[in-house]
Amino acid sequence: MTILIDPLAAGVPPRIPAAMPVLELCGVTKHYGTVQALRGVDLAVRRGEVVAILGPNGAGKTTAISILLGLREPTAGTVRVLGGAPGDAAVRARVGAMLQESGVPGTLTVAELVDLFRGYYPAPRPRAPLLAAAGLEDLADRRVRSLSGGQHQRLYVALALAGDPEIVFLDEPTTGMDVESRRRFWDVIGALAANGTTVLFATHLLEEADALATRIVVIDHGRIVRDGTPAEIKACAGGSTIRLRADVEPDLLASWPGVLRVGRSGARLEIVAREPQEVLRRLFADGIHVEEISVEEHALETAFLDLTSQES
């Protein structure tokens, strides 16, 4: 019987030159019946990058990660991970994953479950540093079913890191965590990144992407709509919301240059614009009567909504 865990047996080179991407999606589409989850995604990630896949629910984040992990086959396009096919045992030996729902056996202790997973990999991380990295050192002898939600998530981190992976995939890792757990979790990811591990995580929180990632890939309706550093993503999504009462047709305002969106908020109009002073200047210059003006710079989350709503 052939054991594919040995990298040599599957012909996967042990190391990939730094310039080459460690993972690559080329023209990847994925249909579930009539639902198009991904519509032509191209993505290349180099070693050591910390990439956030940012998008609203249903954007295709989980599908993209599933394809990169070899859990799902793309309908079209090609996927390479560490120079091989993502489902190969030789590739799986060198990546780690934290998925959204993984009901691990509750009757094992943390140490037993972690050891079980360590046993799956050819060169696992030693148990003590692994538990410490995930913040589980005091919980080693606890039964898994007695852990809190945040502790469960940290256990999943430990399982993802058990094989000392070169790439870690995390699908919405901080869902359901309280603020304290989330901050602790971010520290764990920060330490991984500092260590040179390539990290790719899905999130719908721009704040989280901004805090952790060196690169943010915004995905919506199965397409990549932006790809850049956190600073670039925030810059291109900049702008403000002007709220005012005015005797003017919203459609007219919407046609002005620099106006992204016009809506209503009670008796007031809501104008989303890149440069609010330009809009106000023109309102005054055109002699339109305005009152109750307020201008609000966009918070990160609104910026993120701007980015994705342009596609829909």
Partner 1 sequence: MTATSLALPVRRPGSRSLGILARQLRAELRINVRAPEFVVPVMALPILLYFIFGAPRAAEPMPAGTVGAFTMVGFSIYGVLNIVLFAIGEAIADERGRGYLRLVRTTPLPAWAYLATKLALAAVLSLLVVALIGVAGTVTGAGVSPERWLAVTVVLLAGGLAIAPLGFLIGFLARPHGASAIALLILFPLSLASGVFMPVDQLPGIVRDISMLTPTYHLAELARLAAGFDASGLPAAGDGWQHVVVIGAWSLSGFALVALSYRRMVARQFA
The partner residues of 228 in beta bridges, in order of sequence, read 216
* Residue 92 binds partner 1, judged by CB under 8 A: yes
**41 binds partner 1, rule: CB under 8 A:** no
Helices (H), the chain: 61-68, 89-92, 110-118, 127-133, 149-161, 179-194, 206-212, 230-236, 250-254, 276-285, 300-309
Say whether residue 14 binds partner 1 (CB under 8 A). Answer: yes
> Is residue 85 part of the contact set for partner 1 (CB under 8 A)?
no
In three-state secondary structure terms, 176 is coil
Q: Which is nearer to partner 1, 109 or 309 (CB)?
A: 109
206-245 positions binding partner 1, by CB under 8 A: none
Residue 118 CB, shortest distance to partner 1, in Å, is 10
Rounded Cα distance, 139 and 245, in Å:
58
Distance in angstroms between the alpha carbons of the first and the last residue of the chain: 51
The answer to whether 262 and 270 have CB atoms below 8 angstroms apart is yes
Q: Which is nearer to partner 1, 52 or 168 (CB)?
A: 168
Cβ 52 vs Cβ 216: under 8 Å: yes
Rule CB under 8 A: say whether 89 interacts with partner 1: yes
Q: In what order do the strands lie in the sheet with 240-246?
A: 259-265, 268-273, 240-246, 290-297
Examine residue 19 and tell whether it contacts partner 1 (CB under 8 A).
Answer: no
Binder of partner 1 out of 42, 73, 178, 187 (CB under 8 A)? 73
Within 13 A of 194's CA, how many CA atoms are on the CB side? 7
Give the 3-state secondary structure of residue 78: strand
Interface size with partner 1, residues (CB under 8 A): 44
Q: Site mask, partner 1, residues 153-192, x = CB under 8 A?
A: ---x--x---x-----x-----------------------
CB closer to partner 1, 122 vs 250: 122
Rounded least distance, CB 115 to partner 1, Å: 8
6 near partner 1, judged by CB under 8 A: yes
CB atoms within 10 A of CB 96: 27
3-class SS of residue 228: strand
Which of the residues 251 through 280 are near partner 1 (CB under 8 A)? none
Whichever of 87 and 250 has its CB closer to partner 1, that residue is 87
The pair phi, psi for residue 64, each rounded to 5°, is: -60, -45
Binding mask 116-145 for partner 1 (x = CB under 8 A): xx-xxxx-----------------------
CA distance 123 to 121: 6
Least distance from partner 1 to the Cβ atom of residue 88, Å: 9
CB of 80 to partner 1, least distance (A): 17
Residues that bind partner 1 (CB under 8 A): 1-9, 13-14, 69-73, 89-90, 92-93, 95-97, 99-105, 107-108, 112-113, 116-117, 119-122, 156, 159, 163, 169
